[in-house]
Amino acid sequence: MTQSSPAWDPDRYLTYADERGRPFLDLVGRVAAVDPDVVVDLGCGPGNLTSLLADRWPAAAITGVDSSEAMIRAASDSSAAERVSFHRADLRDWLAAAEPGGVDVLVSNATLQWLPEHLDLVPALVGAVKPGGWLAFQVPGNHDEPSHTLRAELAAEPPYAVHTAGVAAPHAHRAEVYLRALQALGCEVDAWETTYLHVLHGEDPVFTWVSGTGARPTLQALPTDLRARFEDELKARLRAAYPDDGHGVVLPFRRIFVVARTPA
Protein backbone atom coordinates (compact mmCIF):
# COMPACT_ATOMS: atom_id res chain seq x y z
CA MET A 1 0.00 0.00 0.00
CA THR A 2 1.14 3.52 -0.59
CA GLN A 3 2.04 6.06 2.06
CA SER A 4 -1.08 8.05 1.17
CA SER A 5 -3.35 5.03 1.21
CA PRO A 6 -6.69 5.22 3.00
CA ALA A 7 -7.59 3.46 6.22
CA TRP A 8 -8.17 -0.06 4.98
CA ASP A 9 -10.93 -2.17 6.56
CA PRO A 10 -9.82 -5.79 7.09
CA ASP A 11 -13.39 -7.00 7.65
CA ARG A 12 -14.69 -5.44 4.43
CA TYR A 13 -11.65 -6.72 2.53
CA LEU A 14 -12.29 -10.26 3.77
CA THR A 15 -15.95 -10.27 2.67
CA TYR A 16 -14.92 -12.17 -0.45
CA ALA A 17 -11.86 -13.84 1.03
CA ASP A 18 -12.15 -17.02 -1.04
CA GLU A 19 -12.43 -15.14 -4.34
CA ARG A 20 -9.56 -12.82 -3.45
CA GLY A 21 -7.46 -15.78 -2.32
CA ARG A 22 -7.63 -17.77 -5.56
CA PRO A 23 -5.10 -15.62 -7.46
CA PHE A 24 -2.68 -15.87 -4.53
CA LEU A 25 -2.83 -19.66 -4.67
CA ASP A 26 -2.39 -19.66 -8.43
CA LEU A 27 0.60 -17.35 -8.11
CA VAL A 28 2.42 -19.20 -5.35
CA GLY A 29 1.67 -22.51 -7.03
CA ARG A 30 4.08 -21.56 -9.82
CA VAL A 31 6.96 -20.82 -7.44
CA ALA A 32 9.20 -23.88 -7.45
CA ALA A 33 11.28 -23.07 -4.35
CA VAL A 34 11.83 -26.28 -2.39
CA ASP A 35 13.25 -25.32 1.00
CA PRO A 36 13.62 -21.53 1.30
CA ASP A 37 14.98 -19.98 4.48
CA VAL A 38 13.44 -16.49 4.19
CA VAL A 39 10.05 -15.72 2.65
CA VAL A 40 8.53 -12.21 2.58
CA ASP A 41 5.01 -11.14 1.64
CA LEU A 42 4.93 -7.46 0.65
CA GLY A 43 1.43 -6.04 1.09
CA CYS A 44 0.28 -8.88 3.34
CA GLY A 45 -3.06 -7.30 4.29
CA PRO A 46 -4.81 -9.10 7.18
CA GLY A 47 -2.39 -12.03 6.95
CA ASN A 48 -4.85 -14.76 5.97
CA LEU A 49 -2.98 -15.48 2.75
CA THR A 50 0.48 -15.04 4.27
CA SER A 51 -0.34 -17.94 6.57
CA LEU A 52 -0.55 -20.14 3.47
CA LEU A 53 3.13 -19.45 2.85
CA ALA A 54 3.85 -20.96 6.26
CA ASP A 55 1.81 -24.00 5.22
CA ARG A 56 3.83 -24.29 2.01
CA TRP A 57 7.25 -23.75 3.63
CA PRO A 58 6.92 -24.58 7.35
CA ALA A 59 10.66 -24.41 8.01
CA ALA A 60 11.07 -20.92 6.56
CA ALA A 61 11.09 -17.61 8.41
CA ILE A 62 7.96 -15.92 7.07
CA THR A 63 7.46 -12.13 7.27
CA GLY A 64 4.41 -10.12 6.25
CA VAL A 65 4.78 -6.40 5.53
CA ASP A 66 1.99 -3.86 5.02
CA SER A 67 1.70 -0.10 5.41
CA SER A 68 -1.83 -0.24 6.86
CA GLU A 69 -1.98 -0.11 10.63
CA ALA A 70 -5.43 -1.73 10.61
CA MET A 71 -4.27 -4.59 8.39
CA ILE A 72 -1.16 -5.28 10.48
CA ARG A 73 -3.24 -5.16 13.66
CA ALA A 74 -5.67 -7.71 12.22
CA ALA A 75 -2.81 -9.92 11.05
CA SER A 76 -1.03 -9.72 14.40
CA ASP A 77 -4.25 -10.66 16.21
CA SER A 78 -4.92 -13.63 13.95
CA SER A 79 -3.80 -17.22 14.33
CA ALA A 80 -1.30 -16.58 11.52
CA ALA A 81 0.84 -14.59 13.97
CA GLU A 82 1.85 -17.85 15.60
CA ARG A 83 3.90 -18.72 12.52
CA VAL A 84 4.42 -15.37 10.74
CA SER A 85 6.15 -12.17 11.82
CA PHE A 86 4.15 -9.10 10.78
CA HIS A 87 5.63 -5.61 10.40
CA ARG A 88 4.17 -2.27 9.39
CA ALA A 89 6.18 -0.54 6.65
CA ASP A 90 5.70 1.09 3.30
CA LEU A 91 6.83 -1.28 0.57
CA ARG A 92 9.26 1.29 -0.80
CA ASP A 93 10.82 1.90 2.60
CA TRP A 94 11.17 -1.83 3.13
CA LEU A 95 12.93 -2.19 -0.21
CA ALA A 96 15.28 0.70 0.57
CA ALA A 97 16.32 -0.93 3.85
CA ALA A 98 16.36 -4.55 2.66
CA GLU A 99 19.60 -6.50 2.68
CA PRO A 100 20.60 -7.21 -0.93
CA GLY A 101 19.94 -10.84 -1.75
CA GLY A 102 18.47 -11.50 1.68
CA VAL A 103 15.20 -13.14 0.61
CA ASP A 104 14.69 -16.57 -0.94
CA VAL A 105 11.07 -15.99 -2.00
CA LEU A 106 9.57 -12.51 -2.33
CA VAL A 107 5.80 -12.39 -2.90
CA SER A 108 3.54 -9.41 -3.53
CA ASN A 109 -0.14 -10.06 -4.10
CA ALA A 110 -2.49 -7.29 -5.34
CA THR A 111 -0.34 -4.48 -3.91
CA LEU A 112 1.98 -3.05 -6.57
CA GLN A 113 -0.95 -1.57 -8.49
CA TRP A 114 -1.25 1.11 -5.78
CA LEU A 115 2.24 2.39 -6.52
CA PRO A 116 2.21 4.47 -9.73
CA GLU A 117 5.96 4.04 -10.12
CA HIS A 118 6.03 0.31 -9.36
CA LEU A 119 7.66 -0.63 -12.66
CA ASP A 120 10.65 1.45 -11.56
CA LEU A 121 10.84 -0.69 -8.41
CA VAL A 122 11.41 -3.92 -10.31
CA PRO A 123 15.25 -3.71 -10.04
CA ALA A 124 14.97 -3.21 -6.28
CA LEU A 125 12.56 -6.12 -5.97
CA VAL A 126 14.97 -8.36 -7.86
CA GLY A 127 17.89 -7.02 -5.85
CA ALA A 128 16.23 -8.07 -2.59
CA VAL A 129 16.15 -11.69 -3.76
CA LYS A 130 19.14 -13.97 -3.51
CA PRO A 131 20.70 -15.33 -6.72
CA GLY A 132 18.56 -18.19 -7.93
CA GLY A 133 15.68 -17.07 -5.71
CA TRP A 134 12.10 -16.27 -6.61
CA LEU A 135 10.07 -13.10 -7.11
CA ALA A 136 6.33 -13.55 -7.59
CA PHE A 137 3.66 -10.88 -7.88
CA GLN A 138 0.10 -10.47 -9.05
CA VAL A 139 -1.78 -7.28 -9.92
CA PRO A 140 -5.37 -6.69 -11.02
CA GLY A 141 -5.73 -5.94 -14.71
CA ASN A 142 -9.43 -5.06 -14.78
CA HIS A 143 -9.18 -1.29 -14.59
CA ASP A 144 -11.07 -0.83 -17.87
CA GLU A 145 -14.09 -2.72 -16.53
CA PRO A 146 -17.30 -0.97 -15.35
CA SER A 147 -16.41 -1.79 -11.73
CA HIS A 148 -13.67 0.84 -12.07
CA THR A 149 -14.78 3.11 -14.89
CA LEU A 150 -18.19 3.83 -13.37
CA ARG A 151 -16.58 4.88 -10.13
CA ALA A 152 -14.13 7.16 -11.97
CA GLU A 153 -16.87 8.70 -14.12
CA LEU A 154 -19.10 9.42 -11.15
CA ALA A 155 -16.21 10.79 -9.09
CA ALA A 156 -15.45 13.27 -11.90
CA GLU A 157 -18.94 14.73 -11.76
CA PRO A 158 -20.09 17.59 -9.53
CA PRO A 159 -20.38 17.83 -6.59
CA TYR A 160 -17.87 15.01 -6.05
CA ALA A 161 -15.01 16.06 -8.33
CA VAL A 162 -13.70 18.79 -6.06
CA HIS A 163 -13.13 16.19 -3.33
CA THR A 164 -11.93 13.24 -5.39
CA ALA A 165 -9.44 14.87 -7.76
CA GLY A 166 -6.09 13.17 -7.39
CA VAL A 167 -7.20 10.30 -5.15
CA ALA A 168 -5.26 7.05 -5.39
CA ALA A 169 -6.38 4.69 -8.14
CA PRO A 170 -4.93 1.29 -9.04
CA HIS A 171 -2.91 0.86 -12.23
CA ALA A 172 -1.10 -2.05 -13.84
CA HIS A 173 0.90 -2.75 -16.98
CA ARG A 174 0.47 -5.54 -19.50
CA ALA A 175 2.06 -8.85 -18.61
CA GLU A 176 4.59 -8.47 -21.44
CA VAL A 177 5.86 -5.21 -19.93
CA TYR A 178 6.74 -6.93 -16.67
CA LEU A 179 8.22 -9.91 -18.51
CA ARG A 180 10.56 -7.73 -20.58
CA ALA A 181 11.60 -5.63 -17.58
CA LEU A 182 12.59 -8.74 -15.65
CA GLN A 183 14.28 -10.40 -18.62
CA ALA A 184 16.42 -7.28 -18.97
CA LEU A 185 17.66 -7.99 -15.44
CA GLY A 186 18.63 -11.54 -16.34
CA CYS A 187 15.63 -13.30 -14.83
CA GLU A 188 13.83 -16.35 -16.14
CA VAL A 189 10.22 -15.21 -16.31
CA ASP A 190 6.82 -16.86 -16.41
CA ALA A 191 4.08 -14.27 -17.01
CA TRP A 192 0.41 -14.89 -17.73
CA GLU A 193 -3.10 -13.54 -17.37
CA THR A 194 -6.28 -15.09 -16.02
CA THR A 195 -9.81 -13.73 -16.06
CA TYR A 196 -11.83 -15.12 -13.17
CA LEU A 197 -15.63 -15.15 -13.36
CA HIS A 198 -16.66 -14.53 -9.78
CA VAL A 199 -20.30 -15.27 -9.05
CA LEU A 200 -21.35 -12.93 -6.25
CA HIS A 201 -24.50 -12.97 -4.18
CA GLY A 202 -26.23 -10.58 -1.83
CA GLU A 203 -27.32 -6.97 -2.00
CA ASP A 204 -25.13 -4.84 -4.27
CA PRO A 205 -22.27 -7.37 -4.23
CA VAL A 206 -20.10 -5.57 -6.79
CA PHE A 207 -20.25 -2.42 -4.69
CA THR A 208 -19.30 -4.47 -1.62
CA TRP A 209 -16.33 -5.83 -3.57
CA VAL A 210 -15.01 -2.51 -4.86
CA SER A 211 -15.68 -0.61 -1.64
CA GLY A 212 -13.10 -2.81 0.07
CA THR A 213 -10.41 -2.17 -2.55
CA GLY A 214 -10.41 0.00 -5.67
CA ALA A 215 -13.18 2.41 -4.68
CA ARG A 216 -12.11 2.88 -1.09
CA PRO A 217 -9.79 5.88 -1.61
CA THR A 218 -12.57 7.67 -3.50
CA LEU A 219 -15.16 6.93 -0.83
CA GLN A 220 -12.91 8.11 1.97
CA ALA A 221 -12.08 11.33 0.13
CA LEU A 222 -15.73 12.39 0.24
CA PRO A 223 -17.27 14.25 3.17
CA THR A 224 -19.87 12.30 5.11
CA ASP A 225 -22.84 14.19 3.68
CA LEU A 226 -21.79 13.39 0.10
CA ARG A 227 -20.50 9.86 0.63
CA ALA A 228 -23.91 8.28 1.13
CA ARG A 229 -25.25 10.03 -1.97
CA PHE A 230 -22.24 8.87 -4.00
CA GLU A 231 -22.62 5.31 -2.74
CA ASP A 232 -26.29 5.17 -3.68
CA GLU A 233 -25.59 6.43 -7.20
CA LEU A 234 -22.63 4.09 -7.69
CA LYS A 235 -24.68 1.13 -6.48
CA ALA A 236 -27.39 1.95 -9.02
CA ARG A 237 -24.90 2.20 -11.87
CA LEU A 238 -23.19 -1.03 -10.86
CA ARG A 239 -26.53 -2.85 -10.65
CA ALA A 240 -27.25 -1.79 -14.22
CA ALA A 241 -23.81 -2.90 -15.43
CA TYR A 242 -23.83 -6.19 -13.49
CA PRO A 243 -27.41 -7.51 -13.43
CA ASP A 244 -28.48 -10.46 -11.30
CA ASP A 245 -30.38 -12.99 -13.40
CA GLY A 246 -31.36 -15.01 -10.37
CA HIS A 247 -28.16 -17.04 -10.31
CA GLY A 248 -25.92 -14.36 -8.85
CA VAL A 249 -23.94 -11.47 -10.29
CA VAL A 250 -21.01 -12.35 -12.55
CA LEU A 251 -17.94 -10.18 -11.97
CA PRO A 252 -15.23 -10.80 -14.58
CA PHE A 253 -11.86 -10.06 -13.01
CA ARG A 254 -8.67 -10.09 -15.08
CA ARG A 255 -5.42 -10.54 -13.17
CA ILE A 256 -1.78 -10.40 -14.28
CA PHE A 257 0.75 -12.84 -12.84
CA VAL A 258 4.54 -12.80 -12.89
CA VAL A 259 6.93 -15.38 -11.46
CA ALA A 260 10.65 -14.72 -11.96
CA ARG A 261 13.75 -16.73 -11.08
CA THR A 262 16.65 -14.41 -10.40
CA PRO A 263 19.99 -15.09 -12.13
CA ALA A 264 22.20 -17.45 -10.16
The angle, 0 to 180 degrees and rounded to 10, between the axes of the packed helices 224-241 and 146-155 is 140
119 assigned to some structural domain: yes
Does 5 reside within a domain?
A: no
In a domain, 161, yes or no: yes
> Which domain covers residue 177, as residue numbers?
10-261
Q: Is residue 103 part of a domain?
A: yes
- For residue 1, the model assigns a pLDDT of 36
β-strands 38-42, 103-109 pairing: parallel
Domain count, the chain: 1
Provide the 3-class DSSP secondary structure of residue 24.
Answer: helix
Q: Is residue 120 a part of any domain in this protein?
A: yes
pLDDT of residue 161: 98
Q: Residue 196: inside a domain, yes or no?
A: yes
In a domain, 3, yes or no: no
DSSP annotation of 263: P
**pTM of the complete model:** 0.92
Contact 48, 17 (CB under 8 A): yes
Q: What is the pLDDT, as a whole number, of residue 7?
A: 59
Does a structural domain hold residue 2?
no
pLDDT of residue 15: 59
Identify which of 137, 134, 139 has the alpha carbon closest to the alpha carbon of residue 60: 134
Residues of the chain with confidence (pLDDT) below 70: 1-16
User: What CATH number corresponds to the domain at position 159?
Assistant: 3.40.50.150
Q: What is the pLDDT of residue 6?
A: 56
Cα–Cα separations (whole angstroms), residue 151 to 20, 83, 162, 224, 235: 20, 39, 15, 17, 10
Residue 85, classed as helix, strand or coil, is strand
Strands 38-42 and 84-88: unpaired
For position 18, what pLDDT does the model report?
Answer: 82
